[in-house]
Every structure is written in structure tokens, then in C-alpha cells.
């Protein structure tokens, strides 16, 4: 344990207090303060702001790493022109994150390739920028994680760990075809977050087909009831974005191949017959 004395260097004291940013900038800012005639209060406030901003930056970086969000699916890379008008209108509000304070959910429905995952990931990235903790996981991966915890008799502890995230993004819930044990841990997870913590879910199945997920009609109804009680529901209609991009790539590749393999037509000779 470090012994603190009255004549200990300021830099050491700041390290003990875990104020590394102030320690790093104290002398530099002191020179500026002396040059510009700052008051001591102004000088101290400036250093504290630097420390808080650096802590915020590090916290955002840490939350970004812990989120498992795809790094490329951000708001900047989202083509908003392809979004349905209702989705485009609500997107800025959802990115602000007020729904997290109420424990509300966001549910996105649509056929494969409509951009559901990109939209929820873009929202997730923006929530992290605003200081929230977000976890992105394919639904099957979460189910297996919870199932393993249940087998090891630590399901409650695992749910507590996940509960530290303000929002959990469950991607592709419609692809989960579960047995009873898997269905039960998924329902337990949704019930545990009900009215306390938010979930963002993408699904290619409408609610009337969710019996394929939960098997039991009563469990299906109970799960849907909890999710929609406080929820924003978005429908991702329109053509498949992936299919359009694949067609464009194929067309571009064909054009490039054609242009590089076409044999140039022979040029007519400028020599007249009589010159031979």
C-alpha cells in the first residue's frame, strides 16, 4: 500500500486517486492558465472536464468491445433511402434511447434481406455512443448460452450478468426451432427483462407463426404479450436489399469481364491497292 505524505508529488497523488488524465495534463494546462490569467477555479474545472471526457471515451470503447455488435453495421453505413417511411421517421428517436429508461422493446419484422439487422445494429451503436450498454447476439447463441448455464445450475447468475446490459439485441428469433428446454430458457429470459430492461428483436416470422418458436400456445401467447406490452413495432417491407446488391455485383462483374475480354476489331489498312 502506497504511503502518502504531505510532500508527496502531485503526480503520484493523482495516480493514487486514479486521475491519470489530470496527471498527464496538469503541467501543460497550468502553463496555459498562467499565460492567459485563468482563475484557479477555471484551471481546476478544465482539468476535471478533461478527466471526465477521457473516462467517457474509455467507457464507450469498453462498451463497444463488450457489445459484439458488427462494426460495419452503423448509422453511417445505413442507406436510409431504402428504409420504409415509418422506419426512417422513427429511427432518430430510437437512436436517442429514451425507450431504454422505460424498459420498452423494439421489434422489427420482415422477410430475409430487408435490412432488419442493420437497423437494430445502427441503433445499438448510437445507444453506446450515448453511454448505454448494449449486447448483440444471434438468438440461437443466447439460447445455447442460457441452456448451458441451466445445466450448470447457474442460470440465475447468467441472467444477472446479462441484466447489466441496458439493451439486448436478439437477431433472427424466427430461425430458432427449439425443443422444450430451449424454449423455456428463452421465455425465462424475456420474462426476466419484462418492464425493466429493453430487448430489440428481429424476426422473419409474424406473431401468428411464433408457435413454431415456442411450440406451446400458452407460452407463445405469454411471450408475445410481454414483448408487445411496451414496444415499438416496425415492419421492414420492400424488396430484398441483399438480392439487389447481389444483382448489382453480378452485373458489375459481367461488365468488367466483357470489357477486358473483348477482342479489338481489326483496323482497316490505309494502304491503297495500287501502292502494293
Q: Are residues 24 and 81 in the same domain?
A: no
The total number of structural domains that make up the chain: 2
The two beta strands, 231-235 and 198-203, are unpaired
pLDDT given for residue 253 in this prediction: 59
Query: Is 24 a domain residue?
Result: yes
Distance CA 167, CA 170 (A): 10
Distance CA 254, CA 257 (A): 5
pLDDT given for residue 98 in this prediction: 97
Query: Which has the closest alpha carbon to 124: 41, 188, 63, 207?
Result: 63
pLDDT given for residue 276 in this prediction: 38
pLDDT string in tens for the chain (276-residue length): 556 776 677 778 888 888 999 999 999 999 999 999 999 999 999 999 999 999 999 999 999 999 999 999 999 999 999 999 999 999 999 999 999 999 999 999 999 989 999 999 999 999 999 999 999 999 999 999 999 999 999 999 999 999 999 999 999 998 766 688 888 999 999 999 999 999 999 999 999 999 888 888 999 999 999 999 999 999 998 667 666 666 666 666 556 666 666 555 555 544 443 443
Distance CA 205, CA 223 (A): 14
Q: Are residues 182 and 86 in the same domain?
A: yes
Give the CA radius of gyration of the chain: 28
Q: Is 198 exposed, middle or buried (0-12, 13-18, 19+ CB in 10 A)?
A: buried
- Give CA 103 to chain center in angstroms: 17
pLDDT given for residue 273 in this prediction: 37
- Give CA 230 to chain center in angstroms: 21
pLDDT given for residue 274 in this prediction: 43
Q: Are residues 59 and 155 in the same domain?
A: no
Q: Are residues 80 and 168 in the same domain?
A: yes
Q: Are residues 85 and 19 in the same domain?
A: no
Q: Are residues 83 and 173 in the same domain?
A: yes
Distance CA 150, CA 40 (A): 57
Query: Is 163 a domain residue?
Result: yes
Q: Are residues 76 and 155 in the same domain?
A: yes
Q: Is 15 exposed, middle or buried (0-12, 13-18, 19+ CB in 10 A)?
A: middle
Among 65, 85, 106, where does a domain finish?
A: 65
Q: Are residues 82 and 218 in the same domain?
A: yes
Query: Is 218 a domain residue?
Result: yes
Placement of cell 426512417 in the chain? 88
| Interior angle at CA 140, CA 88 and CA 193, nearest 5 | 65
The two beta strands, 134-138 and 231-235, are unpaired
Q: Are 60 and 129 in contact (CB under 8 A)?
A: yes
Query: Which has the closest alpha carbon to 175: 151, 126, 208, 210?
Result: 210
Q: Are residues 172 and 230 in the same domain?
A: yes
Segments forming the whole domain that contains residue 213: 69-235
Q: Are residues 82 and 132 in the same domain?
A: yes
Query: Is 263 a domain residue?
Result: no
Question: Residue 233: which region, alpha, beta or left (left: phi > 0; alpha: psi -120 to 50)?
Answer: beta
pLDDT given for residue 3 in this prediction: 67
Amino acid at each position: 500500500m502506497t504511503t502518502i505524505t504531505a510532500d508527496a508529488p502531485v503526480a503520484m497523488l493523482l495516480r493514487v486517486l486514479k486521475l491519470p488524465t489530470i496527471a498527464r495534463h496538469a503541467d501543460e494546462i497550468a502553463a496555459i492558465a498562467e499565460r492567459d490569467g485563468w482563475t484557479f477555479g477555471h484551471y481546476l474545472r478544465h482539468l476535471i472536464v478533461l478527466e471526465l471526457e477521457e473516462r467517457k471515451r474509455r467507457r464507450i470503447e469498453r462498451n463497444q468491445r463488450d457489445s459484439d455488435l458488427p462494426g460495419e453495421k452503423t448509422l453511417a453505413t445505413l442507406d436510409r433511402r431504402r428504409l420504409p417511411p415509418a422506419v426512417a421517421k422513427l429511427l432518430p428517436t430510437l437512436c436517442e434511447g429514451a425507450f431504454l429508461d422505460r424498459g420498452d422493446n423494439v421489434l422489427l419484422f420482415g422477410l430475409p434481406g430487408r435490412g432488419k439487422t442493420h437497423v437494430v445494429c445502427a441503433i445499438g451503436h448510437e445507444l453506446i455512443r450515448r453511454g448505454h450498454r448494449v449486447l448483440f447476439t444471434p438468438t440461437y447463441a443466447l439460447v445455447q448460452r442460457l441452456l448451458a448455464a441451466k445445466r450448470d445450475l447457474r442460470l440465475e447468475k447468467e441472467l444477472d450478468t446479462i441484466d447489466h446490459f441496458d439493451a439486448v439485441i436478439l437477431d433472427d428469433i424466427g430461425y430458432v426451432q427449439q425443443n422444450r428446454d430451449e424454449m423455456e430458457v428463452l421465455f425465462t429470459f424475456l420474462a426476466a427483462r419484462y418492464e425493466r430492461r429493453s430487448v430489440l428483436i428481429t424476426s422473419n416470422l409474424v406473431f401468428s407463426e411464433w408457435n413454431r418458436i415456442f411450440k406451446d400456445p400458452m407460452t407463445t401467447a405469454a411471450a408475445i404479450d410481454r414483448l408487445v406490452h411496451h414496444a415499438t413495432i416496425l415492419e421492414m417491407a420492400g424488396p430484398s436489399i441483399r438480392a439487389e446488391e447481389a444483382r448489382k455485383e453480378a452485373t458489375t462483374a459481367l461488365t468488367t469481364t466483357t470489357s477486358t475480354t473483348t477482342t479489338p476489331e481489326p483496323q482497316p489498312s490505309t494502304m491503297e491497292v495500287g501502292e502494293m
